[in-house]
Structure 1
Amino acid sequence: MLIYRIKQFYWALNSKINVQDKQFLKMYLSEEEINIFSKLAVDEQKHSIRTAKAVENIYLQHNINKKYMLIKAALLHDIGKIDSELNYIYKALIVLLDKCSRRKIKQFMNIKVVDCYYNHGEKGYFILKKHGYDERFLYLVKNHHNNDIIGDKELDILKYCDDHS
């Protein structure tokens, strides 16, 4: 896990949105959704694109046709981070402190970046709800870090791809 976290940090430092990424976004997001997506930090945008491409690959491997909604959810799953200063430095520190303190850092939810780290799924739910998304879509965004929910195939795919992208 440590090596993966180092890799994530490296990816964040070197994140750039390229032409292929922009084409991918246009395949799945409307102009309004691209405007919302663009409010994310570039490293979060790139992570979301990697997550969505991983979802797409799983669907292609299993020849599943109903991929559109889950790919869109993967692209927008971290949208709850748009209103915070949660950058890759803060995120790295919170991950380390979370691990070292055995999740006791959670008691500092009054600090905006800690609150965003733990609650960005729910924050994303409320942001996207204002834009008229259906409850299933909102459920996926809200619960993409909820490990108490198991057996929901789409949510499990989203969580797996998020954790490995």
Structure 2
Amino acid sequence: MSKRVKQVISALTARITEADRQFIGQHLLPGEAALFWQMNLPDQRHALNVAYTALELAAQERGINQDLLLKCALLHDVGKVKGDVSTADKIITVILDKFAPDWVRKWGRSGRGGKIANLRHAVHTYYHHAARGAAMLSAAGVAAEITGIVARHHEAPADGEPPELRLLRTADSLN
């Protein structure tokens, strides 16, 4: 089964357990948790899955700041706000990105409205959620180290990056 099909199934069956809630409470400050809870349920589940995977990956390496890594994993998609993009628009966006990435990136626009405007907004959010999330985190007073990693989690790897960013990208790609 392809990764994207698994993601759709995961989105449609997403649940948050009491253990997940406790995990979030252990790793996020109240202001950070408030941003986490502003995401829709599938994005919350995804962020938790990324955090759990990142924790497994970090156990295999030395010198990883696990607290930083877990905060970044839980917060990496906060730029995707609940009610902002429908699941159907998200699915269409991923398909468009697969077949016409250059065109669809230019076509996306911020701002909701009718069906087409909402789809264009979904595309815009897909490509810009990292910067949007970093801005939201910064406005909430979250540490620059976290906002920097969130802002760069979809950028190509570069020399001198923190190892937590590399592990976040890997965990995100696995989920």
Q: Deviations over 1:53-89 (max 9, x none)?
A: 1111112233556210111011000001116622332
2:134 corresponds to: 125
Separation in structure 2 between the aligned mates of residue 150 and residue 104 of structure 1, nearest angstrom: 30
1:55 corresponds to: 54
Equivalences for residues 81-96 of structure 1 within 5 A:
81-82=80-81, 85-96=84-95
**1:99 maps onto 2:102 in alignment:** no
Change (3 A) 1:150 1:82: farther
Partner amino acid, structure 2, of 1:143: R
Separation in structure 2 between the aligned mates of residue 102 and residue 38 of structure 1, nearest angstrom: 30
2:154 corresponds to: 145
Separation in structure 2 between the aligned mates of residue 89 and residue 7 of structure 1, nearest angstrom: 15
**Matched residues, number:** 164
1:16 corresponds to: 15
Separation in structure 2 between the aligned mates of residue 8 and residue 112 of structure 1, nearest angstrom: 21
Q: Is the 8 A contact 2:51 2:70 kept in 1?
A: yes
1:161 corresponds to: 171
Structure 1, unaligned runs of 5 or more: none
Q: Deviations over 1:97-149 (max 9, x none)?
A: 11111432011122221111100000011100012222221111001111253
Separation in structure 2 between the aligned mates of residue 39 and residue 57 of structure 1, nearest angstrom: 26
**1:113 maps onto 2:112 in alignment:** no
- Is the partner of 2:24 in helix, strand or coil? helix
TM-score (norm 1): 0.91
TM-score (norm 2): 0.86
Q: Is the 8 A contact 1:37 1:76 kept in 2?
A: yes
Q: Percent identity?
A: 27
- Is the partner of 2:73 in helix, strand or coil? helix
Q: Is the 8 A contact 1:48 1:77 kept in 2?
A: yes
Separation in structure 2 between the aligned mates of residue 123 and residue 70 of structure 1, nearest angstrom: 19
Q: Is the 8 A contact 2:131 2:151 kept in 1?
A: yes
Q: Is the 8 A contact 2:64 2:164 kept in 1?
A: no
1:27 corresponds to: 26
Change (3 A) 1:49 1:145: same
